[in-house]
Amino acid sequence: MSDADGTSHGLGRMLVAVYGVFAIAATARSVYQLSTKAGEAPFAYGLSALAAIVYIVATWALASDRRRWASATIGFEMIGVLAVGVLTVVDEELFPDQSVWSDFGAGYGYVPLVLPAVGLWWLWSRRRRVLRAGDQG
Amino acid sequence: MSELAAWAIALLALAVAGHAAWHMLRDVPFSNALFYSVAALEVVLIGLLVTGSIALSRTDGDVDGVLFISYLLTQVVIPPAAVLWGVAEKSRWGTGVVVVAMLTVAVLCARLHGIWEGTVV
């Protein structure tokens, strides 16, 4: 497999940039929330912290071409944003304050919903490329 | 920090994002013109950091200082980081990184104004 087929090249470069922004934004926000007002909405803030960790690992995995880690974290993100999205609609009391994944990521322009979909498609297209290269011998 | 300044800088960042997007879509390599666009924005952002810090020290308003300064600093760091890391990629997606960065600066600018007014927590 040549380096150009790695997950951090081509379109992947831009994807890593977006993931990096979300990793930093989610981490900074989560540290700020937990350090200043952890008691107000423990569940939402705990969830923000979890999301932040997932974004950090996903960024690292995409940037360093670790596909298992990338698939696992991006898959988790997809499930997370869908599950939390449904929960925020069904049970508003669980979330007195916003988290990244509340309302399917509406507070962040739905990027948290679109990002894992693009990420999974990207990993899948990279994988096909590797398989095809393998067939050609 | 005046509303006018916040929106003017956000619009400038969007314009630079558009300039970078034009490069990306046309598959034009990172050009001198784009470099000057980003550099001009960077100068404005450094100016914002200085004037914003001075305004913060003088204001009577209820502004979260730590959050405000961290936003100002982040904005200054983003453009050079994006150019250095984006240009290392020799395809259209290298300028795509610059597009993402400029959009991020625009969003930060809008939120920065919210922090100043006390509407963003």
Percent of chain A surpassing pLDDT 90: 39
CB-side neighbour CA atoms (13 Å) of A13: 25
Asked whether the beta carbons of residue A13 and residue B91 sit closer than 8 angstroms, the reply is yes
Q: In 3D, which of A6, A62, A9 has the Cα closest to residue B86?
A: A9
Residue B85 pLDDT: 86
Query: Looking at the predicted complex, does its ipTM rise above 0.85?
Result: no
DSSP tag of A103: G
Provide the whole-model pTM. 0.84
- Can you give the pLDDT at residue B92? 86
CB contact under 8 A, B93 and A13: yes
Residue A10 at interface with chain B, using a CB cutoff of 8 Å? yes
From A37, which residue of chain B is nearest by alpha-carbon distance? B121
How far is it, in rounded angstroms, from Cα B118 to Cα B112?
10
Please compute the mean of the pLDDT values over residues B7-33 and round it to a whole number.
Answer: 93
Question: Which of A27-31, A48-52, B43-47, B83-87 has the largest mean confidence?
Answer: B43-47
Query: In the A/B pair of chains, how many CB contacts fall below 8 A?
Result: 35
The dihedral formed by the CA atoms of B74, B106, B120 and A32, expressed in degrees to the nearest 10: -30
Distance of alpha carbon A18 from alpha carbon A111, whole angstroms: 9
> 11-40 in A: which are within 8 Å (CB) of B?
11-14, 17-18, 21, 24, 28, 32
pLDDT at A136 exceeding the cut of 70: no
Residues of chain B contacting A100 with CB distance shorter than 8 Å: none
Q: What is the C-alpha to C-alpha distance for residues A81 and A75, in angstroms, rounded to an integer?
A: 10
Say if the Cβ atoms of A14 and B85 lie within 8 Å.
no
Q: Is residue A1 over pLDDT 80?
A: no
Q: Return d(Cα B3, Cα B43) in angstroms, integer.
A: 19
State whether A17 and B70 contact (CB < 8 Å).
no
Closest CA to B100 of A86, A3, A25: A25
**Selected residue with higher pLDDT from A108 and A76:** A76
Is the per-residue pLDDT at A103 higher than 50?
Answer: yes
From the list A9, A21, A24, the residue facing B89 with the nearest CB is: A9
Closest CA of chain B from A98, distance in Å:
10
Nearest to A21 among B89, B93, B104 (CB): B104
What is the percent of chain B where pLDDT is above 70?
Answer: 98
Nearest CA in chain B to A30: B121
Distances (CA, A) of A81 to A15, A77, A111: 18, 6, 10
Q: Which residues of B touch A13 (CB under 8 A)?
A: 86, 89, 91, 93-94, 96-97
The shortest CB-CB distance from A13 to any of B70, B74, B96 is to B96
